[in-house]
Structure 1
Amino acid sequence: MARVLIMEDEPNIAFVLKIAMSEEGHEVRTCQDGFCGLQQLENGPLPDIVLVDLCMPRVSGRAVVETMHKNQKFQEIPVVIMSGSIPDSRSFPPADSYRTLITKPFDLFKVLEIVNELTASQCLAVS
C-alpha cells in the first residue's frame, strides 16, 4: 500500500482516481489546487507518490513540481504530471523534476500501472 497525493482541480477526475487507487489498496489524499497540495506536503505524512495536474488555480502544477524538486525533503518522491494538453515549454517543469507525463483523457488502468510501478520499490524498502 502506498500513500498517494493527487492534486487535481477537476473534482470528477480526482474522485475517479481516488476510488480506483483506494480499491488497489492505496491510501489516497486529494487537493483541488497546488496551494492545498503544498500544504499537504508540508503538514501531512509524506506521500510515496504525487500526481499533479499541470494547470490548477492558485499555485500551478509547474510551481508545485519545481518547489518539490528544490526541497530536499521532497526530492525523492516520484511525481507524475497530468495534463489535458501538451503544454509549451514555459509551463512545463524541468525534465529531471518528474517521472512521467499522463495526457488526459487517460486510460485509468495505465495510471494505476504507473502508480503501482513507481511505488513498488518504495513499498518493498519499507517492508
Structure 2
Amino acid sequence: MTTILVVDDEPLIAMVLEAELEDAGYGVVTAANGRQGLERLAETPRPDLVLLDMMMPVMTGPQMLAAMAGDPGLRRLPVIVLSSLPEETIRERAKGVAAILRKPYTAHEVLSAITRVLEAEK
C-alpha cells in the first residue's frame, strides 16, 4: 500500500486530506509541522510521497525541504506542495518539488496530482 505523509498545521485540512486519501486506498500519516514531518519520515515503513504545506510553525515547508535535500535517503522522495502562496513564491522557496497545488484545491486535484507524481516515479 502506498503511504502518504500529510504535513499541515491546520487540523481540519489534515483530517479532510487523510479521509480523502484513505477512501482512495492510500495509507496516511500526518504531521503538524516540518519537524514532525521529518520524524515521520524516519519511521518504518517510510511514506512514499509527501503533501507539504509551506507556512507552519516550528519548521516551515521550505525548511523541511532543505532538510530532506540534505539527507541522501530523503532527497528523492516526491513532494507535492499545497499552499495559498503565489506559485512564483512557492517555486522560489521550494526547489525540486514534484508538483504544486494552490489552495483552495479539490480532492480530485490532489488525487490526480498524486497519481501523476507516483506514475512518473516508476
Please confirm whether the aligned pair reaches a TM-score higher than 0.5, indicating the same fold.
yes
Q: CA deviation at 1:91?
A: 6.9
Q: CA deviation at 1:44?
A: 3.7
SS of the residue corresponding to residue 88 of structure 1 reads: helix
Show the counterpart of 1:101: 100
RMSD: 2.0
Task: Say if 2:112 is the partner of 1:113.
Answer: yes
TM-score by length of 2: 0.89
Change (3 A) 1:106 1:43: same
8 Å Cα contact 1:18-1:28 kept in structure 2 = yes
- The gaps in structure 1 that reach 5 residues or longer are none
Structure 1 letter corresponding to 2:81 = I
Show the counterpart of 2:93: 92
Task: Show the 5 A alignment for 1:43-58.
Answer: 43-58=43-58
Give the number of aligned pairs. 121
Give me the whole-angstrom Cα distance separating, in 2, the residues matched to 1:120 and 1:90. 22
Change (3 A) 1:90 1:18: closer
Tell me the percent identity.
28
Change (3 A) 1:26 1:58: same
Change (3 A) 1:60 1:113: same
TM-score by length of 1: 0.85
Structure 2 letter corresponding to 1:114 = A
SS of the residue corresponding to residue 93 of structure 2 reads: coil
Q: CA deviation at 1:105?
A: 0.6
8 Å Cα contact 1:2-1:119 kept in structure 2 = no
Q: CA deviation at 1:121?
A: 5.8
- The gaps in structure 2 that reach 5 residues or longer are none
Give me the whole-angstrom Cα distance separating, in 1, the residues matched to 2:29 and 2:91. 28
Give me the whole-angstrom Cα distance separating, in 1, the residues matched to 2:47 and 2:110. 17
**Most deviating of 2-11 and 82-91:** 82-91
Give me the whole-angstrom Cα distance separating, in 1, the residues matched to 2:44 and 2:33. 16
